[in-house]
């Protein structure tokens, strides 16, 4: 019985590792770097997250095609899938890095005039551009491992590399205090992590012929295009808010907002990590010959999703202020606790969408998922822009709540599919 949950357990461990380390390291990094420099680091993370537009599409396509290939027992296509995804990631990621570099070189000070350290702002943009490119390539190898349902292997690599990433960063800050050295440490660890994943895919999936080419790119693009559109919606929800706060309210406000988000986003992220394993599993089962009940899987996933996310949300409602107080002190707790209330509601609503989201991806309804995310993102960002001037960070929180409400429309698509599906299968 336990083996059925092994993938979810590893996925949870993989996800929980990084937030836990960040949670422990944040007081030290915030104290050592200072609130303003910490805000620049948060901006760097936001810039790197721009790659989510490409990441979501390429990742979904790679996982879908590899899991489907395994379900059909057609392992010959896996090499072509990986190579086509790598081609898209290298050229797409390179273009993204170039655009980020140009924007911050020519317009950075104009876009972020409230962030007064112009040389650090440029360094932040250029470093983020490089990290975003590395992240695109890294994402292909991660998706390949997860598409083959080797969740334990993927988790071990991520846990070790992300732990090392923060430990090195903390040591660098302690010894040098230089933001340049701090940023450089992230680049070095990212390159090492990428190389390790390359070796793992080469060994465990028996892929020895890595080469760029157009063979298989078209098939990957068919799946990826809607994922990229979905990534745009995720970008509007999870990245644009930080750019807006940093641009309009400055680096210190971005710090206060980021630490509250760091807590609230765990509601969605923990549910997402635990349920992510159902994407390749359902995709493989649909393409394979084995019989199964999708309705039963959906019911269990939705109920588990609701229970976990609700427990986390209630915990933050009750203990959120105390956690901020103990974690970062009175000053930050008093500023961040109000926005934390709104963010908790927003992320709880978004977490409700996790189960239908992954199931819809697995059954091939990427178009609906993508459109719902984009509509939610556009509406949310518009409301955010309108409210932030008069309501500050609270306006951003209200906009996030609206995003979560709109994405619940994915339940309608899932229930429609289950209603039309003739359930003649058994577990």
Angstrom distances, CA of residue 364 to CA of 79, 280, 351: 22, 12, 21
Cα 33 from Cα 176, distance rounded (Å): 11
Angstrom distances, CA of residue 208 to CA of 79, 199, 203: 8, 10, 8
* pLDDT of amino acid 189: 93
Instruction: Kindly report the pTM of this predicted structure.
Output: 0.66
Angstrom distances, CA of residue 236 to CA of 11, 232, 241, 353: 25, 6, 7, 17
Let me know if residue 110 belongs to a domain.
Answer: yes
Exposure b/e, 81-104, CB count within 10 A at least 16 = b: bbbbbbbbbeebbeebbeebbeeb
Listed range (5-19, 42-56, 372-386) with the worst mean pLDDT: 5-19
Q: pLDDT confidence of 1, banded at 50, 70, 90? A: very low
- Residue pLDDT, tens place only, 292-329: 678 888 888 899 889 999 999 999 999 988 988 888 88
Let me know if residue 276 belongs to a domain.
Answer: yes
Let me know if residue 426 belongs to a domain.
Answer: no
Angstrom distances, CA of residue 342 to CA of 154, 261, 314, 315: 33, 10, 13, 14
Cα 212 from Cα 194, distance rounded (Å): 17
* pLDDT of amino acid 236: 65
Radius of gyration of the chain measured on its C-alpha atoms: 21
**What's the token pair of residue 236?**
């509007």
Q: Is the pLDDT of residue 339 over 80?
A: yes
Let me know if residue 425 belongs to a domain.
Answer: no
Let me know if residue 427 belongs to a domain.
Answer: no
* pLDDT of amino acid 343: 93
Let me know if residue 61 belongs to a domain.
Answer: yes
Cα 408 from Cα 399, distance rounded (Å): 15
* pLDDT of amino acid 424: 45
- Residue pLDDT, tens place only, 390-425: 888 888 889 889 989 998 999 998 888 888 766 544
Q: Is the pLDDT of residue 137 over 60?
A: yes
Residues ≥6 apart with Cβ < 8 Å to 176? 182
- Residue pLDDT, tens place only, 114-123: 777 888 989 9
* pLDDT of amino acid 368: 85
Let me know if residue 184 belongs to a domain.
Answer: yes
Let me know if residue 361 belongs to a domain.
Answer: yes
* pLDDT of amino acid 422: 61
Per the structure, how many domains does the chain have?
Answer: 1
Angstrom distances, CA of residue 330 to CA of 23, 25, 289, 342: 17, 18, 59, 20
To the nearest whole percent, how much of the chain has pLDDT over 70?
Answer: 83
Cα 244 from Cα 254, distance rounded (Å): 9
Whole domain around residue 69: which residue ranges? 2-420
């Amino acid at each position: 019985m336990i083996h059925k949950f092994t993938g979810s357990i590893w996925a949870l461990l993989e996800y929980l590792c990084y937030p836990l380390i960040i949670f422990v390291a944040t007081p030290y990094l915030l104290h050592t770097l200072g609130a303003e420099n910490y805000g620049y680091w948060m901006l760097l993370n936001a810039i790197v997250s721009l790659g989510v537009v490409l990441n979501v599409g390429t990742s979904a396509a790679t996982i879908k095609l590899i899991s489907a290939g395994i379900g059909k027992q057609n392992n010959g296509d896996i090499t072509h899938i990986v190579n086509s995804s790598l081609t898209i990631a290298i050229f797409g990621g390179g273009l993204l890095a170039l655009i980020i570099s140009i924007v911050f070189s020519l317009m950075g000070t104009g876009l972020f005039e409230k962030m007064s350290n112009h040389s650090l702002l440029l360094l932040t943009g250029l470093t983020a551009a490089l990290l975003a490119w590395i992240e695109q390539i890294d994402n292909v190898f991660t998706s390949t491992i997860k598409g083959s349902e080797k969740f334990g292997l993927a988790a071990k690599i991520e846990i070790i590399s992300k732990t090392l990433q923060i430990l090195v960063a903390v040591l660098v800050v302690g010894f040098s205090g230089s933001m340049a050295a701090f940023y450089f440490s992230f680049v070095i660890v990212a390159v090492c992590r990428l190389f390790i994943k390359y070796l793992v895919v080469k060994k465990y999936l028996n892929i020895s012929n890595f080469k760029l080419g157009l063979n298989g790119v078209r098939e990957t693009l068919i799946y990826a295009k809607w994922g990229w559109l979905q990534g745009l919606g995720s970008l509007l929800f999870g990245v644009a808010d930080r750019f807006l706060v940093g641009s309009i309210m400055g680096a210190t406000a971005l710090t206060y907002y980021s630490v509250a988000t760091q807590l609230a986003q765990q509601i969605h992220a923990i549910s997402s990590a635990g349920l992510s394993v159902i994407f390749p599993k359902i995709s493989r089962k649909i393409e394979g010959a084995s019989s199964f009940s999708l309705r039963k899987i959906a019911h269990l996933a939705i109920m588990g999703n609701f229970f976990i996310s609700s427990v986390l949300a209630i915990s933050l409602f009750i203990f959120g202020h105390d956690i901020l107080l103990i974690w970062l002190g009175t000053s930050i707790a008093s500023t961040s606790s109000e926005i934390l209330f709104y963010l908790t509601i927003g992320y709880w609503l978004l977490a409700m969408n996790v189960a239908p989201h992954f199931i819809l991806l697995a059954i091939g309804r990427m178009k609906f998922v993508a459109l719902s995310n984009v509509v939610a993102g556009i509406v949310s960002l518009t409301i955010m822009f309108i409210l932030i001037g008069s309501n500050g960070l609270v306006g951003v929180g209200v906009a996030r709540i609206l995003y979560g409400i709109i994405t619940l429309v994915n339940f309608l698509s899932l229930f429609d599919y289950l209603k039309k599906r003739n359930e003649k299968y058994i577990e």
